[in-house]
Amino acid sequence: MTTLNNRESPRALAILASFLTSESAGGLVLMGAALAAIIVANSPLAPTYFDALQSVWGGLSIELWINDGLMAIFFLMVGLEIKREVLAGGLASWGQRALPGFAAAGGMLVPALIYIIVNMGNAETLSGWAIPAATDIAFALGVLSLLGKRVPTSLKVFLAALAILDDLGAVTIIALFYSTGLNMPMLGASFATLAVLVIMNRMGVQRLLPYLLLGLLLWFFVLQSGVHATLAGVALALCIPLGTRKEEARSPLLFLEEKMHYWVAFAVVPVFGFANAGVSLSGITLGNLVDPVPLGVALGLFVGKQIGVFLAAVLAIRSGLATLPEGSNWTQLYGVALLCGIGFTMSLFIGNLAFPGVAHLIDEVKVGVLLGSIASALAGVWLLRSKLAQR
């Protein structure tokens, strides 16, 4: 795959700045969408809300169009971000990848272990082990933005890089563990389409339109193959050329990422949040909160994330493989580890894959995600705000 020769190219840095700004603001919009969904789901409009999501258009329910269609656009954006950061940005060298890489790995492993321990012996719910393993980059950066310019930029970049690697891990988990009932002819067609995209990249095709048209075809084949359709977005992103430094002004990847930022942050993700965060709280008691699924998810996000991210980061720094983000200290790093427990978008998404069609378990996932994410957000903001006030 072609790559920029200079990882600190002005346009790549400008896109990173735009990314941090749009994701932060988009996180606040996502919070509003989630709150609106919960209010609507517990109001007289609840039947209309749930019926609308199940209404069928073009052979798929509106909920499936959002989760399999709109989220493919989200995953295309994720793939573009991963490729740019690895080839031309903050993850371009092994030294830069060490701290967020260790932190992301620890932040996925420990929450999954906590969920498995809580749900041990329950075959029906064990498949949700990956739900608390993901960090919501938009939500986390949105919460961090509430603290204003006092937060060192290096911490924001660290959180963004960690969440991007976390997304890469989530994509891998979805591909390996949440793809079922494979349709081999359609899977073969998917690989054939992907091969054409790779050949186009190798031949130096720079126009975006052929990639996007083949991307639609790839999405259809993947949807029919049994592999989750959103993975088509990531596969397409990895085939879109980044270009060399001389070609930077017309880089297809940078152009597409730039144009998609605001649509994804302010439309795609909030629509997904509104469609998936709605949970009826009627009939839920305090006893229900300690059921295996909500308890495992909430503890995985709130306890597992902070332990996994912080201890892995300490290991990377103490071993000399990485250094503390510039201008920050250990307490601030721990505060960011707390914010990593905000797992909203990806956690809800994986929950739908783990328990397809099992409404009561999906509702329990929503409750656990909300509890864990809110606790992580409040604790992270309190710690960072008190520490920044001292400075």
> Please, which pLDDT band fits residue 388 given cuts at 50, 70 and 90?
low
User: What percentage of the chain has pLDDT greater than the value 70?
Assistant: 89
* In the chain, % of residues over pLDDT 90: 35
Helix (H) or strand (E) holding 57: strand 56-57
Whole domain around residue 368: which residue ranges?
39-179+228-387
Which is more confidently placed, 91 or 21? 91
| Domain count across the chain | 1
CA distance 71 to 68: 6
pLDDT tens figures, 211-261: 999 999 999 999 888 777 778 888 999 899 987 655 556 788 988 988 888
How many angstroms separate the CA atoms of 243 and 223, rounded? 30
Answer yes or no: is 174 within a domain: yes
Do the domain assignments include residue 275? Answer: yes
Report, in this order, helix, strand and coil percent for the chain, each rounded to 5: 75, 0, 25
Quote the Cα angle for 337-342-343, to 5°. Answer: 120
Helix (H, G, I), strand (E, B) or coil at 37: helix
The pair of structure tokens assigned to 48 is 């209309």
Q: How far apart are CA 321 and CA 161, in angstroms?
A: 16
Does any domain span residue 4? Answer: no
The β-bridge partners of 61 are: 56
Q: Which residue has better confidence, 190 or 121?
A: 190
Residue 85 is part of a domain; what is its CATH number? 1.20.1530.10
- Tell me what pLDDT residue 5 has: 45
Where residue 382 falls (left for φ over 0; alpha for ψ -120 to 50; beta otherwise) is: alpha
**For residue 192, is it within any domain?**
no
Residues with Cβ < 8 Å from 78, sequence gap 6 or more?
A: 164, 167, 168, 171, 233, 234, 237
pLDDT, residue 213, reads 95
pLDDT digits (tens, 9 = 90+) for 317-360: 999 888 888 888 899 899 999 999 998 888 988 998 899 888 88
Q: How confident is the model at residue 1 (pLDDT cuts 50, 70, 90)?
A: very low
Is residue 95 packed enough to be buried (19+ CB in 10 Å), middle (13-18) or exposed (0-12)?
exposed
The predicted pLDDT at position 163 comes to 81
Per-residue model confidence (pLDDT) at position 345: 82
> Which residue(s) pair with 57 in the sheet?
60
How confident is the model over 107-157, as pLDDT tens digits?
A: 999 999 999 999 998 888 999 999 998 888 777 877 877 777 777 777 887
**Does residue 48 sit within a domain?**
yes
